[in-house]
Amino acid sequence: MTTHRSTTATLDPHDFLAIDSLLSDEERDIRDVVRSFVRDHVVPNVGQWFEDGRIPRELPRELGKLGVLGMHLDGYGCAGASATAYGLACLELEAGDSGVRSLVSVQGSLAMYAIHRWGSEEQKQEWLPRMAAGEAVGCFGLTEPDSGSDPGSMRTSARRDGDDWILRGQKMWITNGSIADVAVVWARTDEGVRGFVVPKGTKGFTTNDIHSKLSLRASVTSELVFDEVRLPSSAMLPGATSLRGPLSCLNEARYGIVWGAAGAARACYESALDYSTTRVQFGKPIASFQLQQQKLATMALEVNRATLLALHLGRLKDEGTLRTEHVSMGKLGNVNAALDVARTARQVLGANGITLEYPVIRHMNNLESVVTYEGTADVHSLVIGGAVTGIQAFR
Ligand SMILES: Cc1cc2nc3c(=O)[nH]c(=O)nc-3n(C[C@H](O)[C@H](O)[C@H](O)COP(=O)(O)OP(=O)(O)OC[C@H]3O[C@@H](n4cnc5c(N)ncnc54)[C@H](O)[C@@H]3O)c2cc1C
């Protein structure tokens, strides 16, 4: 007779539903390369980066060598990998830290994607190869002090002056801002919302870092200030003429977050699983107590569910049927699940759970940013609510 114990003994607690078997050899290879990089270069150091509130200046080049910057884009030095492979990379990077995944998302899915999709041939030639190599860092300026969930209310403006444009205004909460060699900036014009490629050092363009963050500390977040910045007509992204331009980029980045959140959740679950089997109280590992097993079971469920959801969206994206509403469901569900897993894991670790010796509280705090940026949980709920009811409450 088969007992429950012998049946479950054959299961892999790190891949309970055998999701690995759903990947192609190529996808597994890419995943393994990124996983090794994170294990060797991110995990041993990221607690210190978080404590110091910095990201190493050499990291973009290392990520460029790894091949993850704009890896889902085609040509111009980009790898042209599948959406699923890119997602797997995001999962592994965020299992290290949401800040590292944010760097990659902003570079590849926001700044590079904007130039790749909406830019001129000259803009693509000038920026994309260097950005793919991590030799040039990009940022993406949409949010402003008084314009967050409602980007249509942006005040930053650009007006024509002969052949030039004059850009004025302010952007806020911009990832990579002060370390960026190039900013993709969105502004209102007489011709609708347009994007501009603004190199670092352009006269009148300055940045100020936002300090005192308790979340995404291993990530640079800045204010961008444009004081009558004169730009040539060639700085404008010719293909984008409305808010659809920036929103198309956000959809790309959100897709990566769907995967990344599953990675942060996995790291928290694995930390809790490991801790619970070694921490002894009342003469037994705490993993032997039913209440702790319930927590571990719930975390395992959420990690597997989030990963399956991400993989399903990846397959839809690769076959060309992924919709923005699907991405909203993935971002809402997976980030909320990751936050629940992180908070539960933190309790399993007891007092140790509040230190940077373990990854859990770092992930927990990071996820408070992840649930807010790229569309808040409220906004994604309203997108899904609008899709299922046919009534738009999002105004
Ligand atoms: C660490 C970090 C990095 C970031 N990086 C970037 C970046 O690189 N580039 C960039 O452009 N932006 C970036 N952002 C900004 C981010 O995208 C915004 O914070 C986000 O869009 C929310 O805007 P807000 O903070 O102004 O909140 P608000 O829009 O003011 O929202 C405040 C609250 O009101 C709720 N709310 C708003 N509208 C509605 C509604 N219609 N119905 C119900 N509730 C509503 C929201 O859900 C939220 O809970 C970053 C933010 C953070 C924290």
How far apart are alpha carbons 215 and 297 in whole angstroms?
27
Q: Does the beta carbon of 369 sit less than 6 angstroms from any atom of ligand 1?
A: yes
pLDDT digits (tens, 9 = 90+) for 209-258: 999 999 999 999 999 999 999 999 999 999 999 999 999 999 999 999 99
Task: With cut-offs at 50, 70 and 90, classify the pLDDT of residue 126.
Answer: very high
For residue 177, which atom of ligand 1 is closest to its CA?
8
Query: Catalytic annotation on 374?
Result: yes
Smallest CA separation from ligand 1 atom 17, residue: 373
Q: Is the beta carbon of 16 within 6 A of some atom in ligand 1?
A: no
Does the C-beta of 186 come closer than 6 Å to ligand 1? no
Say which residues have a Cβ less than 8 Å from residue 39's Cβ, sequence separation at least 6: none
The gap from C-alpha 259 to its chain's centroid, in whole angstroms, comes to 9
Ligand 1 in contact with 386 (CB < 6 A)?
A: no
Residue 134 near residue 179, CB atoms below 8 Å: no
Task: Indicate if ligand 1 lies below 6 Å from the C-beta of 148.
Answer: yes
* Residue 1 scores a pLDDT above 90: no
Q: Which atom of ligand 1 is nearest to the CA of 213?
A: 1
Helix, strand or coil, per DSSP, at residue 361? helix
| Sequence letter at residue 232 | P
In whole angstroms, give the CA distance from residue 91 to residue 98: 10
Cβ(287)–Cβ(277) below 8 Å? yes
State both tokens at 131.
Answer: 């950005």
**Ligand 1 centre and the CA of 375: distance in Å?**
6
- CA 248 to chain centroid, in Å, comes to 15
The pTM (predicted TM-score) of the whole model is 0.96
3-state helix, strand, coil in the chain (%, to 5): 55, 15, 30
**pLDDT at residue 23 greater than cutoff 70:** yes
Residue 369 CA: nearest ligand 1 atom is 53
Continuous H helices in the chain: 4-9, 25-37, 46-52, 59-66, 83-96, 98-105, 113-118, 121-132, 244-278, 290-319, 324-348, 360-370, 377-389
Give the confidence band of 272 by pLDDT, cuts at 50, 70, 90: very high
324 Cα: distance to centroid of ligand 1 (angstroms)? 18
pLDDT band at residue 10 using 50, 70 and 90 as cut-offs: confident
- pLDDT of 322-372, one tens digit each? 999 999 999 999 999 999 999 999 999 999 999 999 999 999 999 999 999
Quote the ipTM score.
Answer: 0.99
